[in-house]
Amino acid sequence: MTAAGLGSEPDGWPTDNRDVWAAALAGAAAMFLVQPPADLWWLAWIAPLPWLVLVRSTRLPGRHPGLALWTAGFVHWLLAIHWLRLPHPATSLGWLALSAYLAVYVPLFVWAARRLVHRWGWPLVPAAVIAWMGCEQLRGTLLGGFTFGMLGHTQWRWTTLIQLADAFGAVGVGGVVMAVAAAATTLVTTRCRRAAAIDSAVAAAVVLLAVGYGAWRLAGEPVTTDRPLDVLLVQGSVDTELKHDPDAAIDVAQHYDALTLEGLAASGTSARPDLIVWPETMWRWGLLEIDPSERLPEPVVEEMLGPPADEPTATDDAERQALCRTALERQRIDALSAYAMRYGTTWLVGVDKQRVTPEAVTGAEHFNCGLFLDAEGRVLACYDKMHPVMFGEYVPFAETFPILYRLTPLPAGLSAGLAPVGIKIAGYEVAPTICYETALPEAIRGLVRQLAAGGRRPDVIVNLTNDGWFWGSSELDMHLTAAVFRAIEVRTPIVVAANTGFSAWIDGSGRLLARGPRRAVATLRAAVRRDGRASPWLTWGSLPAGGCMAVVVAVTLESLRRGPAGRAGGSTKRARPGLLEPA
């Protein structure tokens, strides 16, 4: 369809290049204000309006409107993720690069929505919703995905509305908000009553259906008399820097140990919690794991076991190698065991691990782990983080070409764990995650589905995170909001132990039942009850949002297929300009 659709407006504003730039930048400012730190969440329902005006306009005047929109997006993301510059001077380069990449989605959204409206003849509301959801899904998928700052995240306080996330994810909640913004745009810009009526009716139906679905899901919350899982979340406040301080490990351990003992004493009861949780990497002496195929140097073996017999046999040598491996690995566990025995309950602690193996190019692999120990100090399980952060925890191809790490402040990269871990504590199946894994919808869905397939669906998800890199900035708010949506999507309570905040207790309906302070110490005692409801998201995941992404891709391919020559029908005359090109 090539005729202008119901969402188009043949005349009026914008009239020149300055209007395009003004609308682009106004949209960027409004969309920044709805996210932390300003957090004007109610503004989100109209914040996209300046960009949507550009969608409705038949033509975009001036030169390079796409550049105006990309620049606006760049400014928006520079402000929204300003905290990325805080961990280290080198991360400022990542801040600029990521902002430049994310900025691409602003002109892509406007361009895709314009084509749906003006070439395919769609009303503005469905065009804007499909284009927005498609772009958000795309940025949540490409290059490992970046899901912070989604439009739907602004509504985390509206518990009834966000129940929709268990069917369509945070992207779907953002689609509801965009529907209202698009209808408002039509109302204030159109002279066509029919277009205004259609868009308003569609938006109203979308909101009513979403709220109705949410009310129905909340009415179906399970009522259980089972004893809750008693969890003590320990939140210290240790600002983190990319530098080696030999005294820091002792200071951090003493800091968290003191907080743990205070939390145990403050409970007012002699009963110990079922689980104590320390945040990510707050035990600074890493674990050691040695591949049996790794031959240890003889001086190391002699230091651990003493000199060998006068004439050792091959069997003696193999036994000494095995004994030495066990002794070296046990050295790293003994101190942890002493703390666990003092706490007298199960302890989950964040710790690094080095695996020495000849299979690695550098001779060793490194993991970010969550280690479970019982009240007797025995290791119950160790979870290796499955989704390291690109450029934050590893550099692509650096395992093959280690020289790449010399170009970064990272001393080495993390390897990805192979499988989720679940253990039973006081009758509850508990599954750990680490850091930004709660920002990845499909990662949490995969964890729950994989454990459920083995008959061990998690009753509680525990997230260990160290947000001390970000010095109490709005990153803490964005990270916590992501966890709220993950709890709804998989209908599983999530508890978070976060260095510098925000530690939290979230139920299976996304209610924030308790939250620690910003950049300060606290202990939270959470009485967590299982949810266990079925979730459409667990069945189909990102498929609906992926359908929106497919529409955006189809629009792109259709435009590329036509091309300037195609639009000109092979003529040598100048082709008709594209929808983001000057008239």
For residue 206, CA distances in Å to 123, 129, 131, 326 come to: 14, 11, 16, 61
Q: CB of 485 within 8 A of CB of 162?
A: yes
Q: Closest by alpha carbon to 485, among 175, 81, 212, 164?
A: 164
CA distance 446 to 357: 28
DSSP conformational letter for 82: G
Backbone angles phi, psi at 530, to 5 degrees: -65, 150
Residue 569's pLDDT is what?
Answer: 36
**Beta strand 504-506 pairing with 494-499:** antiparallel
**Beta strand 364-373 pairing with 379-384:** antiparallel
CB within 8 Å of 455: residues ≥ 6 apart: none
Most distant pair of Cα atoms in the chain: their distance: 100
CA distance 364 to 476: 32
CA dihedral 278, 280, 283, 284 (to 10 degrees): -160
CA distance 511 to 505: 8
CB within 8 Å of 376: residues ≥ 6 apart: 337, 340, 341
With b for 16 or more beta-carbon neighbours within 10 A and e for fewer, the 266-291 pattern comes to eeeeeebbbbbbbbbbbbbebbbbbe
DSSP codes of every residue in 415-426? PPPSS---EEET
The torsion region of residue 472 among left (phi > 0), alpha (psi -120 to 50) and beta comes to left
Break the chain down into helix, strand, coil percent, rounded to 5: 50, 15, 35
Q: At what angle do helices 543-567 and 165-189 cross, to 10 degrees?
A: 50
Q: CB of 544 within 8 A of CB of 172?
A: yes
Q: Closest by alpha carbon to 234, among 426, 432, 495?
A: 495
- At which residue do the structure tokens 């109610």 appear? 42
Q: What is the pLDDT along the chain (583 residues), one digit of tens a residue?
A: 444 455 555 446 788 889 999 999 999 999 999 999 999 999 999 999 999 999 999 888 878 899 999 999 999 999 999 999 998 888 898 899 999 999 999 999 999 999 999 999 999 999 999 999 999 999 999 988 999 999 999 999 999 999 999 999 999 999 999 999 999 999 999 888 888 898 999 999 999 999 999 999 999 999 888 999 999 999 999 998 755 667 789 999 999 999 999 999 987 666 899 999 999 999 999 999 999 999 999 899 888 888 887 666 766 788 888 999 999 999 999 999 999 999 999 999 999 999 999 988 888 999 999 999 999 999 999 999 999 988 777 677 666 667 666 666 666 778 899 999 999 999 999 999 999 999 999 999 999 999 999 999 999 999 999 999 999 999 999 999 999 999 999 999 999 999 999 999 999 999 999 999 999 999 999 999 999 999 999 999 999 999 999 999 999 888 777 665 444 333 344 444 455 653 3
Q: Closest by alpha carbon to 170, among 137, 144, 202?
A: 137
Q: Closest by alpha carbon to 163, among 540, 539, 438, 533?
A: 533
Q: Burial-class residue 166 by CB neighbours within 10 Å (0-12, 13-18, 19+).
A: buried
Q: At what angle do helices 165-189 and 49-56 cross, to 10 degrees?
A: 70
Backbone angles phi, psi at 287, to 5 degrees: -75, 160
> Quick one: which H or E segment has residue 525?
strand 522-528
Q: Closest by alpha carbon to 478, among 32, 26, 132?
A: 32
Omega cis (within 30) before 391? no
- At which residue do the structure tokens 């399980």 appear? 381
Residue 564's pLDDT is what?
Answer: 52
**Beta strand 423-425 pairing with 428-434:** antiparallel
- At which residue do the structure tokens 């510059």 appear? 85
The torsion region of residue 321 among left (phi > 0), alpha (psi -120 to 50) and beta comes to alpha
CA distance 510 to 483: 8
What is the SS3 assignment for 17? helix
For residue 255, CA distances in Å to 246, 351, 435, 520 come to: 15, 16, 21, 12
CA distance 530 to 421: 18
CA distance 568 to 562: 9
Whether the CA torsion 390, 365, 382, 334 is positive or negative: it is negative
CA distance 179 to 164: 15
CA distance 236 to 291: 34
